[in-house]
């Protein structure tokens, strides 16, 4: 049985979440908390497999509760919010930086279909996140992991100028992406295209949070806009994103790949076709294998490919799959990835 703690200041929402979760035969709600303080105290006495955490609560909000739990008694935490207010979303991303592993939307009754979809997403996310047995606290965490070359037979850091960076991430990705971007200079000499698997309606808030954290310009990608150096383009909800021969972003309604839309595989494949050896591909923490085969395709085309190491990944599924099939020229922790990007691309002078 998956043991769940439900944390929300609304008794109606707690009852609704309990109802949705306990419809699943393998789930049981072992406790409820009306604020973050009760949640912290509950986890000190009990050991749930996963926690659903509201953000705005009295006494102790969801961000502070997440931070305390992750410091003392780590448990997979799923942020559940209904508010798209920027300040609330900022707390949600701070909670993920503190160690929460996912964020989902509260079930809404706007339509029956919407309610079913939201409910299914909550259940699926709780089920998947309950499998994360070790959840690490990310803020200001520096891991002394030496960069590893997965391809020791050749030195590829002297390759031609790299014209684009493509990043794919899923579970645990937002804090890592923030760590990468906040260190890069404003005049970074290449555009960055990102596919981050995340619940619908969270992308705009993610982009605002990242934009405040870096000197680079971060935006939700728009169809037909041309790539510019020093700018980060995040794939929007419900679209596949690729790049064409004229370095324009193309958003399409093509089918999901690996069950995902946007898909890392879709982006990486277009980057391999258009940029080849002039690209850098990065696959970060996440469940599943989206992007793994295509990272290998990028490598085969002569691109530099980087997979996040196991020690710093919340879930090593996607980068681990890429490593298994020989898709990574480098395996590195986030701080080492930043160093690689600056050595490969750098700032200003390479324009």
Cβ atoms of 62 and 79 within 8 Å: the answer is: yes
Angle at 6 between CA 205 and CA 210, to 5 degrees: 15
Cβ atoms of 280 and 164 within 8 Å: the answer is: yes
The phi-psi region of residue 326 (left if phi > 0; otherwise alpha if psi is between -120 and 50; otherwise beta) is left
If one counts every other C-beta atom within 10 angstroms of the C-beta of residue 2, the result is 19
| Angle at which helices 86-98 and 173-183 cross, to 10° | 100
Tokens of residue 54, six digits:
């509201």
Cβ atoms of 75 and 99 within 8 Å: the answer is: no
What does the alpha-carbon distance between residue 207 and residue 69 come to, in Å, rounded to a whole number?
26
What does the alpha-carbon distance between residue 87 and residue 75 come to, in Å, rounded to a whole number?
25
Identify the helix (H) or strand (E) that includes residue 193.
Answer: strand 192-196
- Terminal-to-terminal C-alpha distance of the chain: 56
Instruction: Name the phi and psi angles at 32, rounded to 5.
Output: -130, 145
Tokens of residue 218, six digits:
């971060």
Give whole-number Cα distances, 11 to 7, 66, 99, 164, 308, in Å.
10, 20, 26, 49, 41
Instruction: Report the catalytic residues.
Output: 170, 197, 290
Tokens of residue 193, six digits:
């295209």
Determine the distance from the C-alpha atom of residue 86 to the mean position of all C-alpha atoms in its chain, rounded to a whole number. Answer: 19
Identify the helix (H) or strand (E) that includes residue 69.
Answer: helix 62-72
Tokens of residue 143, six digits:
């891991």
């Amino acid at each position: 049985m998956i043991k769940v703690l439900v944390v929300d200041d609304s008794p109606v929402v707690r009852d609704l979440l309990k109802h949705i979760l306990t419809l699943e035969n393998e789930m049981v709600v072992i406790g409820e908390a009306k604020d973050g303080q009760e949640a912290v105290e509950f986890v000190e006495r009990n050991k749930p497999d996963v926690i659903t955490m509201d953000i705005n609560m009295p006494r102790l909000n969801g961000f502070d509760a997440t931070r305390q739990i992750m410091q003392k008694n780590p448990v997979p935490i799923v942020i559940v919010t209904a508010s798209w207010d920027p300040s609330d979303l900022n707390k949600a991303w701070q909670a993920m930086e503190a160690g929460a592993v996912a964020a989902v939307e509260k079930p809404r009754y706007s339509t029956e279909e919407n309610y079913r979809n939201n409910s299914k997403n909550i259940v699926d996310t709780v089920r998947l996140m309950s499998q994360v047995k070790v959840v690490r606290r990310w803020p200001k965490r520096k891991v002394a992991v030496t960069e590893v070359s997965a391809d020791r037979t050749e030195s590829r850091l002297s390759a031609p100028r790299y014209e684009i960076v493509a990043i794919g991430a899923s579970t645990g990705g937002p804090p890592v992406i923030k760590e990468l971007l906040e260190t890069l200079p404003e005049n970074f000499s290449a555009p960055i295209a990102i596919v981050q698997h995340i619940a619908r309606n969270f992308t705009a808030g993610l982009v605002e949070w990242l934009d405040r954290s870096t000197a680079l310009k971060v935006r939700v990608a728009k169809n037909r806009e041309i790539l510019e150096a020093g700018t980060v383009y995040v794939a929007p909800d419900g679209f596949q994103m690729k790049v064409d021969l004229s370095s324009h972003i193309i958003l399409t309604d093509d089918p999901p790949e690996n069950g995902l839309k946007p898909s890392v595989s879709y982006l990486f494949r277009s980057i391999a076709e258009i940029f080849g050896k002039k690209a850098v591909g990065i696959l970060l923490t996440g469940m599943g294998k989206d992007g793994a085969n295509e990272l290998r395709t990028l490598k085969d085309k002569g691109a530099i490919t980087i997979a996040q190491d196991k020690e710093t990944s919340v879930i090593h599924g996607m980068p681990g799959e890429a490593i298994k099939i020989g898709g990574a020229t480098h395996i590195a922790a986030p701080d080492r990835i930043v160093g690689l990007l600056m050595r490969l691309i750098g700032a200003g002078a390479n324009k």
